Chains A and B, each alone.
Chain A
Amino acid sequence: MRVALVDSGKLEDIKQWKPPLDSYLSRTLQITASNKVYLENHGLWSQCYADRMQPYDRAVVTDSLGGGVIDLAAFETVESVQSRSSVAYMIETKNFVSGMLKAIDCATGCVVTFERSRARLLVGADGASSYVRKCAGIGTYGSEYLQYGLVATLCLEQLNSTAYQRFLPTGPIAMLPFPGGFANLVWSLDSDHTQLLKSAPEGAFASLVNAAFRLSACEMQYLYNIVRDGASESAITAEADWRLEVFARNNPGISSPKLLPPTIAAITPKSRTSFPLRMRMVDSLIANRIALVGDAGHVMHPLAGQGLNMGLEDVQCLADVLKQAAVAGEDIGSVPVLMRYNKQRYVRNLAMQGIVDKTWHIFGSNSRPVVTARSLVMNGLDLFPTVKRFLVSSIMS
């Protein structure tokens, strides 16, 4: 089988990517344990810079309105004790992509080309606004969250290997660990708040992130207001730090089981950037001679970090289907063959998108019954190790 890779980007540049020594890029990916094993088995994982990825085995999810807490730790699962693996791995997008491109160089029978070519199967892996999907006439539906993902690289006061996520009324905020006391921030906000926080002074931004993980919704609202009024960096920092001090005094025990992330000292200069968040479902993952994988076939909110992982599962499934078809001498681009891929992946992708979308809606609600119910469920789940074990193993795979 001959494979040609076509991309509009300058692949050679990405392949030669030299990582910055003093920081991490703010666009990152989360890879689950099972996908990491798949990449490892195919010699792809070893091509990435190993010192720039961070495994994490614990995730703490909290809810700012109802006070619900779930502490998910991988050591509670049987599988992780046996295989000593982690829940997931954090890796910079560029590190991942350049590793994949280097691995393609090592593989035989694969060509990187920009020339006109004809093929029996076109795999559309061209992202959320897929051109392949458009040309194939595959319809999409879904909703705009009217939110943006604000990302930044954080410098912490101590080393950390736990992921923290807090649901705020304005959207979820997550801190994902990187080696050497760095962390990646993913903060979902509406466009007003995104603009506000992107333009806030860098020194004040660190205090605001600390505040977002600790303070109540109305205190955050007050802080946003003074930022909006154009307060100086020192004024915002002083206001936030004073409130954080009061919070620490009033909650002396809360940091002992490490339910709070480490304090952020600073953010990496100019690392803040944002992108719109959407949910897009496709009518089908296939058309005659066309298969969609990854974001071309499903766009979702990054709150669970599952977008790429679903894409990798698409790829595994498609590769398996094509191999079976090739062994039986079938036409790999024909609808009956591709139908097997669609059958296995379409419903699973839809279910995952649905779960993530419902989670977003449930935690985006301010209604008192919903807030009470979600906190009861979260705290209830936290009491049952078996349920948590199930949750963690489903995250891992």
Chain B
Amino acid sequence: MLPCKRALVLSRRLATPCITPRTRRIHSAATAAAATTTAAAAAAAAAAAAAVNARSSVSEAELQKFVKVSQEWWDPQGAFKYLHTMNAPRIRFIRDILADVHRVTGEERDSTKWLAGKSVVDVGCGGGLASESLARLGLKVLGIDAAAENISIARVHNPGLFPQLEYKQTTAEQLVAQKEGAGFDAVVSLEVIEHVTDPVLFCKSLVELAKPGAPLLVSTMNRTLLSLLVDVVLPEYVLRSVPRGTHDHSKFITPRELREIFMSLGAQHLDTRGLILDPLSNQCHLVPADLGVFSNVGIQANYIMAFRKND
């Protein structure tokens, strides 16, 4: 962690004063993306914390970060701009994993028939960006978040998808304890795990929410020099498109650690993809972890991982 702190101080001293409005605009895309992801994660974390009095992975401090910016969830140019950009490739990936798990091939893959009625829980749904998209595919979606502000915004932004789409202010742990929502056909948690206090406990709840054989999808940020730059320094200190302190680089989890956590909890690893954001064209690309001979280059910053709960 020492080099990271040093880099932060350095960036604060050097980068900030020489930013012109123009460069700020150009670079703000990158920062904003990072910021949004952090915010979403924080929201999820907050939700988790608030819900459970007993053991919970939710951090109250993290939760408050997201409450502050919750009004901006559905503004495509707002603080969550890059979360909007990253949404489509992530949903496409989730859809592909579901198709693989259910062995849907050929032209049927592009239809929505096979998706209809399958249940998904979106843990740390924030303003409902991913939940709505999943519901639009025909899935029966339950979006949960520890922050009441997020849930009310998600509910207000209703594109007429009810009853496919339902929101609830609760945490993964609570949901497991209630037993009512257990046994989902898929569990999704996007940009949340880096904001929780106890990642292992959080992952345990995710696995418990899934039906045996059901896929689990988790996206977060790697703990590398690159992620420090593009997910923390640029958005929070250079472009200042994301409130400072939204992300704590030391809480980021590497793909290896995440894989080990889930394997120990009785899930097998299916796939890992990197998410690379192009701030100029405002497009997000899903890339393989290894690019040619360069292993793990694709997952140096944002990544998404798919697991399958053992039968």
The stretch of B32-40, B81-89, B148-156 that contacts the partner chain: B81-89
Asked if A329 contacts B76 (CB within 8 A), the reply is no
Whether a CB of chain A sits under 8 angstroms from the CB of B159 is yes
* A83 nearest CB across to chain B (Å): 26
Within A321-336, which residues are at the interface with B (CB < 8 Å)? 323, 325-331, 334-336
Name the A residues within 8 Å of B76 (CB-CB). Answer: 334-336
Name the B residues within 8 Å of A334 (CB-CB). Answer: 76
Contact A330:B133 (CB < 8 A) given known A325-B88, A336-B85: yes
Which partner residue on chain A sits nearest B93 by CB separation?
A: A328
CA–CA, A120 and B132, complex, Å: 14
CA–CA, A328 and B133, complex, Å: 7
Asked if A328 contacts B159 (CB within 8 A), the reply is no
Interface size on A, residues (CB 8 A): 12
Name the B residues within 8 Å of A120 (CB-CB). Answer: 159
Name the A residues within 8 Å of B88 (CB-CB). Answer: 325, 328-330
Which partner residue on chain B sits nearest A329 by CB separation?
A: B133
Asked if B85 contacts A329 (CB within 8 A), the reply is no
Which partner residue on chain B sits nearest A337 by CB separation?
A: B88
Which partner residue on chain A sits nearest B282 by CB separation?
A: A336
CA–CA, A330 and B92, complex, Å: 10
Contact A328:B95 (CB < 8 A) given known A120-B159, A336-B85: yes
Whether a CB of chain A sits under 8 angstroms from the CB of B110 is yes
Asked if B110 contacts A331 (CB within 8 A), the reply is no
Which partner residue on chain B sits nearest A335 by CB separation?
A: B76
Whether a CB of chain A sits under 8 angstroms from the CB of B137 is yes
Which partner residue on chain B sits nearest A120 by CB separation?
A: B159
CA–CA, A120 and B133, complex, Å: 14
Name the A residues within 8 Å of B159 (CB-CB). Answer: 120, 331
* B126 nearest CB across to chain A (Å): 16
Asked if A330 contacts B110 (CB within 8 A), the reply is no
Which partner residue on chain B sits nearest A288 by CB separation?
A: B76
Asked if A328 contacts B91 (CB within 8 A), the reply is yes
Whether a CB of chain A sits under 8 angstroms from the CB of B136 is yes
Name the A residues within 8 Å of B91 (CB-CB). Answer: 328-330
Q: Specify which of A326, A327, A331, A336 is in contact with B132 (CB 8 Å cutoff).
A: A331
Q: Which has the most chain B C-beta neighbours within 10 Å: A325, A326, A335, A336?
A: A336
CA–CA, A328 and B92, complex, Å: 5
Asked if B95 contacts A330 (CB within 8 A), the reply is no
CA–CA, A328 and B88, complex, Å: 5
Q: Specify which of B84, B110, B133 is in contact with A336 (CB 8 Å cutoff).
A: B84
Whether a CB of chain A sits under 8 angstroms from the CB of B190 is no
Asked if B134 contacts A329 (CB within 8 A), the reply is yes
Q: Specify which of B84, B95, B135, B282 is in contact with A327 (CB 8 Å cutoff).
A: B95
Within B114-142, which residues are at the interface with A (CB < 8 Å)? 132-137
Name the B residues within 8 Å of A323 (CB-CB). Answer: 110
CA–CA, A331 and B88, complex, Å: 10
Name the A residues within 8 Å of B92 (CB-CB). Answer: 327-328
Contact A327:B110 (CB < 8 A) given known A334-B76, A335-B76, A336-B84: yes
The number of chain B residues touching the other chain, given as a range, is 10 to 19
* A383 nearest CB across to chain B (Å): 42
* A322 nearest CB across to chain B (Å): 13
Interface string of B151-178 (1 = CB under 8 A from A): 0000000010000000000000000000
Name the A residues within 8 Å of B135 (CB-CB). Answer: 329
Within A58-84, which residues are at the interface with B (CB < 8 Å)? none
Name the A residues within 8 Å of B134 (CB-CB). Answer: 329
* B93 nearest CB across to chain A (Å): 9
Asked if B84 contacts A331 (CB within 8 A), the reply is no
* B283 nearest CB across to chain A (Å): 9
Which partner residue on chain A sits nearest B111 by CB separation?
A: A327
Q: Specify which of B84, B110, B136, B282 is in contact with A329 (CB 8 Å cutoff).
A: B136
* A124 nearest CB across to chain B (Å): 22
Within A347-374, which residues are at the interface with B (CB < 8 Å)? none
* A125 nearest CB across to chain B (Å): 24
Asked if A331 contacts B136 (CB within 8 A), the reply is yes
Interface string of A113-151 (1 = CB under 8 A from B): 000000010000000000000000000000000000000
Name the B residues within 8 Å of A328 (CB-CB). Answer: 87-89, 91-92, 95, 133
CA–CA, A335 and B87, complex, Å: 14
* A340 nearest CB across to chain B (Å): 9
* A137 nearest CB across to chain B (Å): 19
CA–CA, A331 and B136, complex, Å: 8
Q: Which has the most chain B C-beta neighbours within 10 Å: A120, A323, A328, A334?
A: A328
* B103 nearest CB across to chain A (Å): 18
* B253 nearest CB across to chain A (Å): 26
Name the B residues within 8 Å of A331 (CB-CB). Answer: 132-133, 136, 159
* B190 nearest CB across to chain A (Å): 13
* B134 nearest CB across to chain A (Å): 6
* B304 nearest CB across to chain A (Å): 14
* A122 nearest CB across to chain B (Å): 16
Name the A residues within 8 Å of B282 (CB-CB). Answer: 336
Interface string of B67-89 (1 = CB under 8 A from A): 00000000010000000110111
CA–CA, A325 and B92, complex, Å: 9
CA–CA, A331 and B91, complex, Å: 12
* A323 nearest CB across to chain B (Å): 8
CA–CA, A326 and B137, complex, Å: 8
Which partner residue on chain A sits nearest B281 by CB separation?
A: A343
CA–CA, A326 and B110, complex, Å: 9
* A51 nearest CB across to chain B (Å): 34
Within A73-115, which residues are at the interface with B (CB < 8 Å)? none
Interface string of A150-170 (1 = CB under 8 A from B): 000000000000000000000
Within B82-113, which residues are at the interface with A (CB < 8 Å)? 84-85, 87-89, 91-92, 95, 110
Q: Which has the most chain A C-beta neighbours within 10 Å: B87, B110, B136?
A: B136
* B210 nearest CB across to chain A (Å): 20
Q: Which has the most chain B C-beta neighbours within 10 Å: A120, A330, A334, A335?
A: A330
- Beyond known contacts A327-B92, A328-B88: 5 more, CB 8 A cutoff: A120-B159, A328-B87, A329-B95, A329-B137, A336-B85
Could you list 13 examples of A-B contacts with CB < 8 Å?
Answer: A120-B159, A326-B136, A328-B89, A329-B91, A329-B132, A329-B135, A329-B136, A330-B133, A331-B133, A331-B159, A335-B76, A336-B76, A336-B84
Q: Can you list the 3 inter-chain pairs with the closest CB atoms, starting with the nearest?
A: A329-B133, A328-B88, A329-B136
